[in-house]
């Protein structure tokens, strides 16, 4: 990323019409999917009930991952004092002067750091993000996580630990619901890759012309999304229509990623999502990726692909999978489509 665009700075002086490099009206016009006038109500999963061994809640988790690929996680047990500290740290980070944030600038050809990337037809999303790989520890870049102000780094470290624990518990429960041995799931994700994305969406004077975030599905096993300042904006695609979602405060929104769709041999569906911009309010989020380990082979679970069920996806090493994902132009769920095996009828 040689010359850098900073949406927060652009937004300070933004008037109508908004700068041309953010104007996505052509793409919006060409899009075949319209937005539902009614918001969708996302299913709610109760972590406390799951942990107690409640089989009805496990069945609800299973059917939600099959039919929706996204849910709100309540009673997750992450202390509100910690969530407050993380919120303060993230808000403080995005308020730093630009030259301070630029110390973390995304470097040419890298996926990590602070910045704003061109998406879609060479246009920018209306968001500044800060992406960091946080596990395995030897993959932490010395100029990123360790250099964060301690008011963000310390609570964030604790928060990552809590979310990794929750993620592992959820994946083990999903394995049970799918009929996969815990050992097979653990071989895939124990000490897996972890990444965090902090996102700042400034208010936009003309929100219908821009995209907060281009449509995509996550490459992950699962992603946790946290709306740090309680402002909505996420939309999901269901049956070809976009649905805006509204979440209760203090929940984590969990979505099924492509690697879980592959591992479950298509039983669970990753969800295509995007973010719309807001005319009045800034929006701050944290996305936390729970991923397979770098040494793992990505492919359908061996348990689920014994005869007569054929594997629906190809197998590839995780490192290769990541490289291929980041080298392609982002277009909805097209990368997952590329992983599919064509079976003749
Ligand atoms: C259009 O905006 C976006 C598209 C994709 C992503 C994104 C999704 C991920 O699942 C993901 C990820 O899991 C990941 O860790 C391996 C990662 O590495 C730093 C990502 O950048 C990443 O990006 C975000 C926004
Ligand atoms: O900020 C959001 O609401 C969504 C973020 C997201 O989809 C991602 O980082 O993958
Ligand atoms: Fe996402």
Closest by Cα among 206, 262, 201 to 233: 201
pLDDT digits (tens, 9 = 90+) for 58-89: 999 999 999 999 999 999 999 999 999 999 99
Ligand 1 lined by 216 (C-beta under 6 Å): yes
Overall pTM > 0.80: yes
The H or E element containing residue 194 is: strand 194-201
Ligand 2 lined by 236 (C-beta under 6 Å): no
Of ligand 2's listed atoms, the one at least distance from the Cα of 274 is 7
Q: How far is Cα 102 from Cα 91, in angstroms, rounded to an integer?
A: 16
Q: How far is Cα 220 from Cα 258, in angstroms, rounded to an integer?
A: 6
Of ligand 2's listed atoms, the one at least distance from the Cα of 233 is 3
Which ligand is located closest to the Cα atom of residue 233? Answer: 2
Tell me how far the alpha carbon of residue 67 is from its chain's centroid: 18
pLDDT digits (tens, 9 = 90+) for 276-309: 999 999 999 999 999 999 999 999 999 999 877 8
Ordered by where they begin, the domains of the chain are: 78-339 (2.60.120.330)
The predicted complex's ipTM stands at: 0.95
Q: Are 268 and 65 in contact (CB under 8 A)?
A: yes
Question: What pLDDT was estimated at residue 334?
Answer: 80
Q: Are 172 and 104 in contact (CB under 8 A)?
A: no
Closest by Cα among 174, 184, 180, 255 to 222: 255
Ligand 1 lined by 136 (C-beta under 6 Å): no
- Ligand 2 binding pocket mutation candidate from 197, 220, 257, 333 (most atoms within 8 A of CB): 197
**Smallest CA separation from ligand 1 atom 1, residue:** 214
DSSP state letters, 271-333:
--EEE---SS--EEEEEEEE---TTPEES--TGGGSTTS---B--EEHHHHHHHHHHSPP-BT
Of ligand 1's listed atoms, the one at least distance from the Cα of 195 is 15
For residue 194, give both structure tokens.
């972890």
């Amino acid at each position: 990323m040689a010359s850098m665009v900073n949406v927060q700075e652009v937004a300070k002086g933004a008037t109508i019409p908004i700068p041309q490099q953010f104007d996505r009206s052509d793409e919006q016009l060409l899009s075949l999917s319209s937005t539902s006038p009614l918001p969708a109500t996302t299913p709610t999963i109760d972590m406390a009930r799951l942990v107690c061994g409640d089989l009805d809640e496990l069945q609800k988790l299973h059917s939600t991952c099959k039919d929706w690929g996204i849910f709100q996680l309540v009673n997750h047990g992450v202390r509100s004092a910690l969530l407050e500290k993380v919120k303060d740290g993230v808000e403080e980070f995005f308020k730093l002067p630009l030259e301070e944030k630029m110390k973390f600038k995304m470097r040419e050809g890298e996926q990590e750091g602070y910045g704003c990337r061109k998406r879609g037809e060479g246009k920018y999303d209306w968001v500044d993000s800060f992406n960091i790989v946080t596990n395995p520890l030897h993959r932490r870049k010395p100029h990123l996580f360790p250099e964060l102000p301690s008011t963000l780094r310390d609570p964030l470290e604790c928060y990552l630990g809590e979310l990794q624990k929750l993620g592992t518990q959820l994946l083990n429960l999903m394995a049970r619901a799918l009929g996969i041995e815990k050992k097979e799931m653990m071989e895939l994700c124990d000490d897996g890759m972890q990444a965090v994305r902090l996102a700042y969406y400034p208010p936009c004077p003309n929100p219908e012309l821009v995209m907060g975030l281009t449509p995509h599905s996550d490459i992950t096993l699962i992603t946790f999304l946290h709306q740090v300042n309680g402002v909505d904006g996420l939309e999901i695609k269901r049956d070809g229509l976009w649905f805006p979602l509204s979440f209760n405060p203090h929940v984590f929104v969990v979505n099924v990623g492509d690697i879980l769709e592959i591992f479950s041999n298509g039983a669970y569906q990753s969800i295509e999502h995007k973010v719309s911009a807001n005319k009045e309010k800034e929006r701050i989020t944290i996305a936390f990726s729970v991923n397979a380990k770098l040494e793992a082979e990505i492919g359908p679970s061996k348990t689920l692909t014994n005869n007569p069920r054929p594997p629906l996806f190809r197998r590839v090493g995780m490192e290769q999978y990541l490289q291929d994902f980041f080298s392609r132009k982002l277009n909805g769920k097209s990368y997952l489509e590329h992983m599919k095996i064509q079976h003749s009828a």
